[in-house]
Amino acid sequence: MPLFGTDGVRGLANGPLTADLALHLAQATAVVLGQGRTATARRAAGKRPTAVVARDPRVSGEFLSAAVSAGLASSGVDVLDAGVLPTPAAAFLIGDIDADFGVMVSASHNPAPDNGIKIFARGGVKLPDVVEQRIEAALDGDMLQPTGAGVGRIRRFADAEDRYVVHLLGSLPHRLDGLHVVLDCAHGAAAGVSPETFRDAGARVTVIGADPDGLNINDGVGSTHLDQLARKVREVGADVGIAHDGDADRCLAVDAAGRIVDGDQIMAILAVAMKDRGRLVDDTLVATVMSNLGLHRAMAENGIRVVQTAVGDRYVLEAMNKNGYSLGGEQSGHVIMSDFATTGDGLLTGLHLVAEMARQGKSLAELASVMTVFPQVLLNVRDVDRTRVASDEVLQAEVEAVQAELGDTGRVLLRASGTEALVRVMVEAADAASAQSYADRIAAVVRERLAA
């Protein structure tokens, strides 16, 4: 089983993901990424390569980030410890200070016992598969072992948060004055920086989920649990609610009535607004195969082309970078605005969404009406052999039969999880009952044919 999944190395902290693994993974990363042109030039000039290290507030992040920093420093890399910050902040800072690479310790929207290690290359970009494979292979090779002045130093990145906030505020097309925003920070990495930034942008802010204790990250709050946010928006009469996940690379929203506005709707709003302002490159939006059929129809009605990728923000990023597109993302709330970020940024997305409300003088419900959401059912079929999804002819025939019955009024997607022993069945249809019926029908075949 490969060490890297769809978004770095992830697992139960102190289970598969140990301090020893974190240290050796950092050393292997130093071997692969610490030998680039810039790092080599720095060494030739008597300087050491530099890496940014950050984490979310889950308790295991303390020992894992310490192990990462130790592994890097022992390999001759200077470490700037940014402390608790969102993943997109770490990515931004790598590019901002021209570091050679960086490491984020976070399991994103996963529960507190899990953790993960995400590695970014120079410029704050995610690693392609081939580089991850090189790092994994380097674990079995010789590590760098400098001594004396060649050993790296670990220093606090004192102005990391300030740099990130200034960057976010400088990206806005309009201030947020006059709008009341409820922020759900998921007891995660956004708890300190998100309320401050929204207030600096002019919004009146009410905050929930901003008391991280290391164990409560994503626990009943954040982008995967929107009920509390919806209740709070209605309770205080706010204009909009913004939800982050644990490492704040996602953004979902609720309107003034507490109705959910997902990543597809957010992308639709931003795409139309960016096209109107001449900022949507080639009038193109990049989205994954999981995006709602309603997004495709809304974009077509507004003269915007949709380029589809496999599921995962890394694949969205690859398509965007290859063609220079300025907007892309996922239904889950990973939205990438490449003019300002190299990865999904929940704070950036939320700020720009609310800025459009202010700029156009419209409610979120009015903006979201640009897209009609098709009923969508997503079922996770667990404890099955996910490796046989594509090869099982009976299962594939059932999927084709359902798609034929739906015609152009719906869509079927069958996908094996990249990290768990499960298969995801997604069906869209003109009505919720049909979507559920078709999804249940395919899921039953998955259970029968792929029983582990």
- Comparing C-alpha atoms, which of 439, 450, 373, 447 is closest to residue 403? 439
What DSSP string runs through 393-417?
HHHHHHHHHHHHHHGGG-EEEEEE-
- Measured between alpha carbons, how far is residue 68 from residues 73, 260, 285, 381 in Å? 9, 38, 36, 35
Q: Assess whether 332 carries a catalytic annotation.
A: no
Within 8 A by CB and 6+ apart from 326, the residues are 274, 279, 280, 281, 320, 337, 338, 339
Cα 97 from chain centre? 22
What are phi and psi for residue 271, nearest 5 degrees?
-65, -45
And the tokens for 435? 């979507």
- 8 Å CB contact between 184 and 242: yes
239 carries a ligand binding annotation: no
Catalytic-labelled residue, pool 65, 69, 108, 194: 108
Of 14, 10, 349, 68, the C-alpha closest to 82 is: 68
DSSP element (H, E) containing 449: helix 432-449
Is residue 108 marked as binding? yes
Separation between Cα atoms, residue 263 and residue 223, nearest integer Å: 10
d(CA 372, CA 301): 12
In the sheet where 411-416 sits, what is the strand order?
A: 376-382, 422-428, 411-416
* Amino acid at site 374: F
CA dihedral (170, 174, 177, 178) positive or negative: negative
87 touches 119 (CB < 8 A)? no
The DSSP annotation for 356-380 comes to: HHHHHT--HHHHHTTSPPPPEEEEE
- 245 is annotated as contributing to ligand binding: yes
**Residue where the block lists tokens 């709050």:** 221
Q: Known binder of ligand: residue 417?
A: no
Binding-site positions read 108, 245, 247, 249
Q: Which residues are catalytic?
A: 108
Binding-site positions for Mg(2+) read 108, 245, 247, 249
